[in-house]
């Protein structure tokens, strides 16, 4: 059943209004909140990235509900959902598919492509950093080009296409760091924090009794794509866009605007994809806040998830336990708006 006002089956051709955009986004958040406890800001950031058309990396220790969040989100969206459990013995063909020999009723044999689980609208890459870098890299083409190449044949993935990956902190045993090129293809990297006492009690109440929450589907792929199209139409003033440029440049140690902490602890700054992610996410956030223009505050609000996985610490930074969040927070503090 669709939530009122979702317009899932009646308004595929017309342009969404900002009011319909916000109503649909709030409906999705309400449905997810029926299952996910105390992660309102996390759910909001996941929704921002999806509307912007980006992939998401969720990081946190086991047991914090990362997989449940993705499953619940899939249940609220009328999208083809697929789950890939990453393990050390997983092979690239287990993800993208492979070419097999098939025999028809006349005994004639031919090659046929058998699609892998990546051929879905919403792909959950569960514990992605438990697989080897070779297998992790099998997602690179899919995430960037929305295609898969097997035996010199290009296969197009269904649209829309989103990868929501979960990973455990890399210090944990049996994990492999994601290649920098793949990290850069994630729109947001989100930290899943441990629940507080009240939230933990609510989780226990919901998961240790016979009652279970059910969620309704409130949007489909076409509606999510139209929400993203509306977000791209949100204007951004030149001086606000230039602020995003300064924030990005300030993450590069060789730039004059870089603060001392960047010069001391950062090896490589964020790529241009970081600025693209900040601006697109800020546009979505502006619509969620009921505005049709991007403000400085919108850029500051999305800077951490858009940049934290795109800055590379040097040896000294890693040795002294400096975090990307600390560096970006200092960049935000030291970069003037005007």
Q: Do the domain assignments include residue 105?
A: no
Bridge pairing between strands 162-167 and 55-59? parallel
Domain count, the chain: 2
Q: Are residues 198 and 239 in the same domain?
A: no
Q: Do the domain assignments include residue 102?
A: no
Q: What is the pLDDT of residues 179-196, one digit of tens each?
A: 888 889 999 999 888 877
* Per-residue confidence (pLDDT) for residue 170, from 0 to 100: 65
* Per-residue confidence (pLDDT) for residue 150, from 0 to 100: 84
Q: Are residues 201 and 140 in the same domain?
A: yes
Domain boundary (176, 201, 233) is at 233
* Per-residue confidence (pLDDT) for residue 133, from 0 to 100: 82
Residue 292 DSSP label = S
Q: Are residues 43 and 183 in the same domain?
A: yes
Domain boundary (233, 256, 272) is at 233
CATH number of the domain enclosing 238: 1.10.8.80
Rounded alpha-carbon distances, angstroms, from residue 332 to 48, 229, 273? 20, 28, 18
36 is in which domain, residue-wise?
1-91+119-233
Q: Is the peptide bond before 160 cis (omega within 30 degrees of 0)?
A: yes
SS3 content of the chain, % helix, strand, coil (to 5): 45, 15, 40
* Per-residue confidence (pLDDT) for residue 13, from 0 to 100: 56
Q: Are residues 199 and 128 in the same domain?
A: yes
* Per-residue confidence (pLDDT) for residue 50, from 0 to 100: 93
* Per-residue confidence (pLDDT) for residue 214, from 0 to 100: 81
Q: Are residues 281 and 214 in the same domain?
A: no
CATH number of the domain enclosing 38: 3.40.50.300
Nearest to 332 by CA among 294, 309, 293, 306: 306
Q: Are residues 211 and 252 in the same domain?
A: no
Helix (H, G, I), strand (E, B) or coil at 57: strand
Please give the Cα distance from 296 to 312 (Å, whole number). 25
Q: Are residues 179 and 221 in the same domain?
A: yes
Helix (H, G, I), strand (E, B) or coil at 120: coil
* Per-residue confidence (pLDDT) for residue 312, from 0 to 100: 94
- Tokens standing for 92? 């690239």
Q: Are residues 221 and 285 in the same domain?
A: no
pTM here is: 0.87
| Cβ-defined contacts of 61-66 (< 8 Å, 24+) | 61/168, 61/169, 61/172, 61/194, 62/168, 64/192, 64/193, 64/194, 64/195, 65/36, 65/37, 65/39, 65/192, 65/203, 66/166, 66/192
* Per-residue confidence (pLDDT) for residue 140, from 0 to 100: 86
Domain boundary (213, 233, 253) is at 233
- Tokens standing for 45? 């950031």
Per-residue pLDDT tens, the chain, 338 aa: give them: 344 444 444 444 567 888 899 999 999 988 888 888 778 888 899 999 999 999 999 988 777 778 888 888 888 988 888 999 998 889 988 999 887 888 777 778 877 788 889 999 999 998 888 888 888 888 888 888 999 888 888 889 998 999 999 888 766 666 788 888 888 999 999 988 887 788 788 777 777 777 677 888 888 888 999 999 999 999 999 999 999 999 999 999 999 999 999 999 999 999 999 999 999 999 999 999 999 999 999 999 999 999 999 999 999 999 999 999 999 999 999 999 87
Nearest to 286 by CA among 273, 297, 276, 275: 297
Q: Are 57 and 189 in contact (CB under 8 A)?
A: yes
């Amino acid at each position: 059943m669709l939530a009122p006002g979702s317009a899932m089956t009646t308004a595929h051709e017309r342009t969404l209004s900002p009011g319909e955009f916000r109503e649909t986004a709030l409906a999705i958040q309400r449905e997810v909140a029926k299952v996910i406890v105390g992660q309102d800001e996390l759910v909001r950031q996941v929704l921002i990235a999806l509307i912007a058309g980006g992939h998401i990396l969720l990081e946190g220790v086991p047991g914090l509900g990362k997989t449940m969040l993705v499953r619940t989100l899939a249940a609220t969206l009328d999208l083809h959902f697929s789950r890939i459990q990453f393990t050390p013995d997983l092979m690239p063909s287990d993800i993208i598919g492979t070419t097999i020999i098939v025999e028809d009723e006349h005994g004639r044999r031919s090659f046929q492509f058998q699609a892998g689980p990546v051929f879905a609208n919403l792909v959950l890459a569960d514990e992605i950093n438990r697989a080897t870098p070779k297998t992790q890299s099998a997602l690179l083409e899919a995430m960037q080009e929305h295609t898969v190449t097997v035996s010199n044949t290009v296969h197009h993935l269904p649209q829309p296409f989103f990868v929501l990956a979960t990973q455990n902190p890399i210090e944990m045993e049996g994990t492999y760091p994601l290649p920098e090129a793949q990290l850069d293809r994630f729109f947001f990297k989100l930290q899943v924090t441990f629940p507080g006492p009240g939230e933990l009690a609510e989780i226990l109440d919901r998961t240790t009794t016979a009652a279970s929450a059910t969620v309704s589907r409130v949007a489909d792929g076409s509606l999510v794509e139209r929400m993203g199209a509306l977000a791209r139409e949100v204007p951004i003033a030149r001086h606000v866009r230039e602020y995003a440029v300064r924030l990005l440049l300030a993450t590069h140690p060789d730039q004059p605007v870089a603060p001392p902490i960047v010069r001391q602890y950062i090896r490589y700054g964020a790529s241009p994809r970081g600025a693209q992610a900040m601006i697109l996410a800020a546009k979505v956030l502006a619509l969620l806040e009921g505005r049709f223009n991007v403000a400085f505050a919108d850029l500051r609000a999305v800077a951490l998830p858009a940049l934290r996985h795109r800055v590379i610490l040097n040896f000294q930074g890693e040795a002294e336990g400096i975090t990307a969040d600390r560096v970006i927070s200092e960049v935000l503090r030291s970069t003037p708006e005007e």
